[in-house]
């Protein structure tokens, strides 16, 4: 396996991060969630070998080891199995000093997508006044914007994940009722309503699933993303920024940028690619679109 260096481990610890990719192999990867390790991929490595390796490299002794086999459809993903040690249940991890509630053994995701750490750091430093988070999931981007002083609006079709989003705000000392809206609704229906009402945001995060269902309607990223990008551009204040991210296996960074350029149809803007953490070679692709003043 290709492990992160001890120096990289130390940098993550110094910045207040204990949830991150630890190692990558040809058939999977190993993630750290505080005191637990989660293998995702083919047959998991032997626990004894892992225990010796992480102790030798980082002086770290995990409290538990989990493993899951990946499947193509997220809805078919089964929870991870406990391989050794303690079952983590629900725990708190930290990323760049922020706290997030996660369940490392959960199915498709623990509650925090580790490949978005660099984009979350960028949101933290953007200085937004009003932020819209679409397909918000457990509201990690919302936490970053709110901690920096922004009013926020988080939209997701699943009530349970927005409930976790409120808990994530509270875990960071932020009152969810103080300038923060949570809309349990289909983002493709919410955005046109916001446009019609004339609402404006200086930061919008658009991180949709490749495929999803909400209220009887079906979302397919290759079909529905262009309209959403176009409508989100209408919602942005001049000088504002739209972060678009996706995990569609058919698209690379250039494909996503080309789609976004076509969607905004020549409107004056600048565009740059988003970021991934250096230890994650494959993951979500993203771009940032800044509306010219």
3 state DSSP class of 60: coil
pLDDT of residue 73: 62
DSSP letters spanning 170-191: HHTT--TTSSEEEEES-HHHHH
Instruction: Quote the percentage of the chain above a pLDDT of 90.
Output: 83
Read off the pLDDT of residues 174-212 as tens digits, 9 standing for 90 and up. Answer: 999 999 999 999 999 999 999 999 999 999 999 998 777
Work out the average pLDDT over 225-235: 95
29 and 168 fall within a common domain: no
List the end-to-end C-alpha distance of the chain, in Å, as a whole number.
Answer: 48
pLDDT of residue 85: 97
**Which residue would you say has higher pLDDT here, 60 or 247?**
60
pLDDT of residue 244: 97
pLDDT of residue 266: 81
Read off the pLDDT of residues 151-165 as tens digits, 9 standing for 90 and up. Answer: 999 999 999 999 999
147 and 200 fall within a common domain: yes
Work out the average pLDDT over 232-253: 93
Cα 186 off chain centre by: 18
CATH number reported for the structural domain that contains residue 240 in this entry: 3.40.50.150
64 and 142 fall within a common domain: no
Instruction: Quote the percentage of the chain above a pLDDT of 70.
Output: 96
pLDDT surpassing 90 at residue 108 = no
133 and 252 fall within a common domain: yes
44 and 118 fall within a common domain: no
Angle in degrees, CA 240, 122, 32, rounded to 5: 145
Work out the average pLDDT over 74-87: 84
CATH number reported for the structural domain that contains residue 58 in this entry: 3.30.750
192 and 48 fall within a common domain: no
- The Cα 240–Cα 290 span in angstroms is 6
């Amino acid at each position: 396996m290709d492990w992160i260096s001890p120096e990289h481990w130390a940098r993550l610890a110094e910045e207040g991060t204990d949830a991150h990719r630890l190692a990558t192999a040809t058939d999977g990867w190993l993630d750290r969630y505080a005191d637990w390790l989660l293998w995702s991929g083919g047959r998991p490595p032997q626990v004894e070998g892992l225990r010796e390796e992480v102790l030798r490299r980082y002086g770290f002794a995990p409290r538990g080891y989990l493993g899951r086999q990946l499947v193509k459809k997220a809805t078919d993903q089964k929870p991870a199995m406990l391989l050794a040690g303690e079952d983590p249940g629900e725990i708190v991890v930290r990323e760049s000093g922020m706290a997030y509630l996660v369940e490392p053994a959960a199915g498709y995701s623990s509650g925090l997508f580790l490949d978005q750490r660099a984009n979350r750091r960028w949101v933290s430093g953007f200085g937004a006044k009003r932020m819209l988070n679409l397909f918000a999931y457990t509201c990690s981007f919302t936490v970053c914007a709110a901690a920096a002083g922004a009013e926020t609006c988080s939209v997701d079709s699943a009530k349970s994940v927005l409930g976790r989003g409120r808990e994530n705000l509270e875990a960071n000392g932020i009152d969810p009722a103080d300038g923060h809206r949570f809309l349990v609704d289909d983002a493709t229906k919410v955005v046109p309503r916001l446009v019609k009402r004339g609402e404006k945001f200086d930061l919008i995060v658009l991180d949709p699933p490749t495929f999803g269902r909400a209220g009887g309607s079906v979302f397919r990223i290759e079909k529905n993303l262009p309209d959403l990008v176009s409508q989100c551009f209408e919602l942005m204040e001049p000088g504002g920024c739209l972060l678009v991210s996706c995990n569609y296996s058919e698209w690379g960074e250039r494909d996503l940028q080309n789609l976004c350029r076509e969607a905004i149809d020549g409107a004056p803007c600048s565009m740059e690619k988003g970021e991934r953490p250096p230890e994650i070679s494959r993951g979500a692709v993203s771009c940032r679109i800044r509306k010219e003043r």
